[in-house]
Structure formats: structure tokens, C-alpha cells
Amino acid sequence: MFYFTIDILGTIAFAVSGVLVAMEKKLDLFGVFIIAFVTAVGGGSLRDLLIGSTPVNWLLQPVYLFTILGTVVLTIIFRPHLKYLRTSLFLFDTIGIGLYTLVGIEKGLEAGLSPVMCVALGTITASFGGVIRDILCNEIPVIFRKEIYATACILGGSSYFLLRKLPFEDAYSYMAAILIVISMRLLAVKFKIALPNIYRKAK
């Protein structure tokens, strides 16, 4: 129940971000829905395919499809208000990243993978929905260009494996790791922390 709630919240957060990108590209109603859908389930589906957990989750649980459908309708209706709310959208997206990173790690553990690969799966779950969204919209994925996004997933995800060694209940470590991913991204944006520039020598 706990993990399920987290999963649905992440789905809503990512679906909203998908609708906004698709509407900037002036896609039609179906296009907007598909972009919202792949943004929300793309990372998780790629993860499920890579570990061989098929049929993928959303085919078995219609709740994801209907959640995304409802989110798309509400986002389109309330979009004129949303555009004054860039901050809350950024928050939504960041919360989605935190939630999905840990969902992905959990699935990796269930599949018996090593911690390093669990963190890789968590990062894929959190970031590849956005990558597929950007590819479908004919853009170079935004996370390859300017955001401390995956770094937050990797460090926050790794922290989960450290926290698990402490004598807390697993749900606390889980929540704490989600908060670490979220705060790392918020702090990075606030203090404009970026990855080291690898192009310095080219100047």
C-alpha cells in the first residue's frame, strides 16, 4: 500500500510534466496523452523489459492508465493556471524523480541484482520516461544537457544502501533516500551546482 501510493504519486507528477512538454509542441489530444503516458510509464517499462519482468506492470494494473487519463484531462483544463506555477511543476517533477528512483531500486532488489545495478535501474526508472518523451518530441533529452538530475538519483539511490545498514526499519531508510534525492536536486538548482564542465580545454 505504501509503495503503491508512492508509485501513483510519481505517475501523476510525470504525466503532468509530459502534458506540458507535449502542449508546447502543439501536439493533438492523442499525442498529448501518449507523451504523458510514456513520460509516466516509460522509465518503469524499460526497467521491466531489461530485467524480464513481463507483462510490464501497467498492462496488468489498469489503475495507471486511468490515473494518467485523469491527470491529462485535469492538466489540460487547468493549464492556463498552471503556467503561472512553474515552481510547483518543478516540484512535482522532482518528487517524481525521488519516488521512481526508489521504486526502481526495489524492483532491482526483487530481481536479485547487485546494489550498483539496482541504483542503475532506479536511475533508469526515474529518468528514461523523460528521455523517451524528449525523443518523441524530437529534442535532445534535457537531462543530457543541463540538469543535475541523474546525479541526484545515483547519489540518493546509493545512500539507500548505506541507510539500510543502520538499525532502522526499511520503510524509514526508503523514505529518507527519497528525501535525499529530492533535496539534492532542489539544492543543486538553488545553488546552481552543475556537473564539472568537460569542455574547458576546448576554449
Chain residues binding a second copy by CB under 8 A are 22-23, 25-32, 34-35, 45, 49-52, 54-56, 59-60, 62, 65, 76, 79-80, 111, 113-114, 116-117, 120-121, 131, 135-141, 143-146, 149-151, 194-196, 198-199, 201
Whats the size of the chain, residue-wise?
Answer: 203
The distance of closest approach from Cβ of residue 198 to a second copy in the complex, given in angstroms and rounded to an integer, is 5
Pairwise CA distance, residues 82 & 85, whole Å: 5
Query: Nearer to a second copy by C-beta: 22 or 95?
Result: 22
Instruction: Please classify residue 84 by burial: count the beta carbons closer than 10 Å to its beta carbon, then call 0-12 exposed, 13-18 middle and 19+ buried.
Output: exposed
Smallest separation, CB 174 to a second copy (Å): 22
**Pick 73 or 171: Cβ nearer a second copy:** 73
**CB nearer a second copy, residue 83 or residue 168:** 83
Q: Which helix (H) or strand (E) holds 96?
A: helix 86-110
Least distance between a second copy and beta carbon 27 (Å) = 5
Between the alpha carbon of residue 54 and those of residues 13, 88, 163, 169, the distances in Å are 24, 34, 30, 30
Whole-number minimum distance, CB 55 to a second copy, in Å? Answer: 5
| 15 C-beta neighbours (distance < 10 Å), count | 30
